[in-house]
Amino acid sequence: MKFSIASLYYILGPVLLMHLSCDRIPEKNKKDFRDSYRTWEVYGGDLKGTHYSELDQINRNNVAQLGVAWQYHTGDMKTSPATTIQCNPIIVKGVMYITTPGLKAVALDAETGEELWVYNPWEGKLGSGVSRGLTYWSDGVDQRLFYGVGNYLHALDAKTGTLSDGFGIDGKLDLRTGLDRQTLEYVSSKTPGIIYKDLLIIGSAVGEGPSPGAPGHIRAYDVRTGQRKWIFHTIPQLGEYGYETWSSDSWKTNGGANSWGNFTLDSERGLVFFGTGSPSYDHWGGNRIGDNLFGNCIMALNAETGERVWHYQVVHHDLWDYDIPCAPALVTLTKDGQEIDAVAQPTKMGHLFVLDRDTGEPIFPVEEKSVPQSEIPGEVSSPTQPFPIPSLVYADQGFNADDITDLNTHARDYVKETVKNMEMGGVFTPPGTKPLVILPQFNGGSEWPGAAFDPQTNTLIVNASNEAEWISMKKSRVTKETSLGELGKQIFQSTCTHCHSMADKNLGIASAVPNLEGLKNRMSKDQMQSLLIEGRGQMPSFKSLTESERKALVAYIFGEGEEEKVVTDDLKNTWRDQIPYVSTGHWDFRDPEGFPVNKRPWGTLNAIDLNKGEIKWQVPLGTYPALEAKGIPPTGTFNIGGPVVTAGGLIFIGATRDERMHAYDKDTGELLWEFQMDTGGYATPSTYEINGRQYIVIAAGGGGKPGTKPGDSYYCFALPQ
């Protein structure tokens, strides 16, 4: 080893750490120096993805005094479409690196929030998108940051915020190239990759719609040059393991099976871990018959070579978009007196999978159970799906008559009537042509922020949502004979009729949902067009329908369009010939006042004892202020944003639609402190220490899927000095 400052750090790091480590933490859970529980240099806190901090200056006794130390405004949010911030800030040697709603990268003085530099990837123009943060690498001399913007990975000099010389082309790498398959579709990297030695390992976000998306292969690049060092085909090619779990040409045409969440790394074992998403197209798999390895898999690869070590599939032949949204957390637990290194994987289904880290074998029983089968022509759904033991299930598992909201009689009656025209069922009920109430919805259960692991108690902290949506399937092929009005009728029947009735019969829900009979006397065609785009109150937006589909709907409602023929090629969707059935989208399903249609809690925070494999406590996470004002106890809300757990006995989490930051007692789930931010914190906080003071920072970017107002700031909290 060449002697450098970095190598000194390698040698001294563990020695220094030993003095700081808490004795109660089992030996196995202690980290190498890059994995310090006192810093936050890596997305999710450390390479193991634990979101855990040993810092305890802020603790149960004083958390009530926590206040804002500084707030930084990025100044580049947009309201239409609303932007969001999903970034988990990293802090390296007193400097905080963040991304903005406009996808700029910014360096701040982590103590004061003062801006050090700003990098604008758009070369003066404006842009926006999603970024969950940056990856930091240093060899002791060079310091680099990596993050994705659009189809490009950008490499920056961490000291100056300028593009790194010698990486890719002028500091950028086109992610659509080097996939071992020609693709013109978008390939972006929204969640930070992970560093192993001098490799940057990344996944991708790719198209999941009916048109052929890019494959989600995993790649490792030389951090200095951007040269591709290895690739792992998540859709196996001819002759590769798993090829036979697809249709024979899937590897050439189907996309997805991508890891769009983060990675975790066991540097001692040299293993990199991640979860993969569903194969595309998300909701019809007649052209990908089989289990579809390595879609929806928890995976371990050799970090040096990219070779598969093990995989574990949590959804066979996905029809729901139940992607594994995050990497598993690397944990150690004690079972039958034995210490076991494991991985703990939260999922959108609210199923927790705990697997042996070396073999991928489940540590607690998992049962393959029969599930309902799809009736969509051409579909071959999987006869069974894996279910963990009930004590490891932490989200609602389906929607039936018993699950209808009990918030008030009006809401209950409305939902009871509405679901008469819909399908209901347990988790893994496949979508059909009749609208299906779906719970957990495709945003979970859990989402991309993942869980936190408390190594002092071997407890996993994970938040979950329980707000139902609905989905249905429709025929995508339109014959040349069809008239515009007929097309409109088809779409109306599959997408609108469980709320609206065209006939003059009273569905009993007319008070909340207007009958559309005689609409032309109240509204112009243009007004109806914009209503379909914008939505209004409980009428959802149907922005994702094509313009022709909206035109057809208007024609049908206005009793026109009998004459006008629809030619298939007129429609934007040229995929109609390959994918015969498409979904009408996932839609929010709410009562007349806008609250979820299922019973509370609508969002939870869970502590799961990994030694016992059971939930220790579960509390509602967040509330609806309008219900709170009426004296209704916390209801929980849909939530996106991860927890952080500390040796101070606390769990910090934003995530909720009430736009608050919270601190909970990690032993009991008691809410000890909350703070009303200007906008929602739909991101994971980071905690760090500078000059003896502990800070907690969270992005309050609002917007996003929770759909509250957008914001542009980072809040940094500390105790008063």
- The footprint of ligand HEC (CB under 6 A) covers 492, 495-496, 499-500, 512-514, 516, 519, 522-523, 528, 531, 536-540, 542, 553
In the complex, the smallest distance separating the C-beta of residue 211 from ligand HEC, rounded to whole angstroms, is: 22
Closest contact distance (angstroms) between CB of 523 and ligand HEC is 6
Across 524-557, b (16+ Cβ under 10 Å) vs e yields eeeebeebbeeeeebebebeebeebbbbbbbbbb
Q: Taking a C-beta distance cutoff of 8 angstroms, is the pair 65, 659 a contact? A: no
By beta-carbon proximity to ligand HEC, the closer residue of 151 and 472 is 472
Q: How many angstroms from the chain centroid is the CA of residue 209?
A: 17
Closest by CA position to 620, among listed 608, 638, 605, 607: 605
CA angle 390, 349, 622 (to 5 degrees): 95
In angstroms, give the least distance from the CB of 493 to ligand HEC: 10
What minimum distance in Å lies between the beta carbon of 517 and ligand HEC? 9
Task: Compare residues 271 and 496 and give the one whose CB is closer to ligand HEC.
Answer: 496
User: Are 457 and 52 within 8 A, CB to CB?
Assistant: no
Least distance from ligand HEC to the Cβ atom of residue 501, Å: 11
Nearer to ligand HEC, 253 or 538 (CB): 538
Closest of 164, 168, 121 to residue 144, by C-alpha? 164
- Residue pair 630/645 in contact (Cβ under 8 Å)? The answer is no
Which is nearer to ligand HEC, 137 or 556 (by Cβ)? 556
CB-nearer residue toward ligand HEC: 380 or 531: 531
Minimum distance, C-beta of residue 472 to ligand HEC, in the bound complex (Å): 10
Between residues 9 and 492, which has the closer beta carbon with respect to ligand HEC?
A: 492
**Cβ count within 10 A of residue 692:** 6
By the 8 A CB rule, do 449 and 684 touch?
yes
* Calpha distance 687→463 (Å, rounded): 19
Least distance from ligand HEC to the Cβ atom of residue 479, Å:
21
**Alpha carbon of 437 to those of 281, 434, 445: distances in Å?**
20, 10, 15
Which residue's CB is nearer to ligand HEC, number 93 or number 572?
A: 572
Alpha carbon distance 331, 455 (integer Å):
8
Select 195 or 597, whichever has its Cβ closest to ligand HEC.
597
Choose between 176 and 500: whose C-beta lies nearer to ligand HEC.
500
d(CA 51, CA 346): 14
Closer to ligand HEC by CB, 222 or 547: give it.
547
Q: Which amino acid is at 42?
A: V
CA angle (144 as vertex; 140, 149 as ends), nearest 5: 170
Q: How far is the CB of 638 from ligand HEC (least distance, A)?
A: 16
Between 156 and 554, name the residue whose CB sits nearer to ligand HEC: 554
Smallest distance, ligand HEC to C-beta of residue 400, A: 19
Nearest CB to ligand HEC, comparing residues 507 and 523 = 523
Residue 401 C-beta: closest distance to ligand HEC, Å = 18
* Least distance in angstroms from the C-beta of 548 to ligand HEC: 13
What is the rounded CA–CA span in Å between residue 226 and residue 200?
Answer: 9
Tokens describing residue 124: 């003066």
Least Cβ distance, residue 588 to ligand HEC (angstroms)? 7
**Shortest Å, Cβ 231 to ligand HEC:** 42
Residue type, 144: R
Nearer to ligand HEC, 304 or 560 (CB): 560
Smallest CA-to-CA distance from 705 within 408, 454, 442, 455 is with 442
Distance of closest approach, residue 621 Cβ to ligand HEC, in angstroms:
25
**Contact present, 437 and 471 (Cβ < 8 Å):** no
CA angle 237, 241, 243 (to 5 degrees): 45
And the tokens for 483?
Answer: 């008239």
The answer to whether 146 touches 172, Cβ cutoff 8 Å, is no
Q: Quick one: CA dihedral 366, 367, 372, 376, positive or negative? A: positive
Which residue's CB is nearer to ligand HEC, number 352 or number 471? Answer: 471
- Sequence-distant (6+) residues with CB within 8 A of 369 are 384, 385, 386, 387
Give the other-Cβ count within 10 Å of 680's Cβ: 33
Buried b (16+ CB within 10 A) or exposed e, 2-16: eeeeeeeeeeebeee
CB 146 within 8 A of CB 138: no
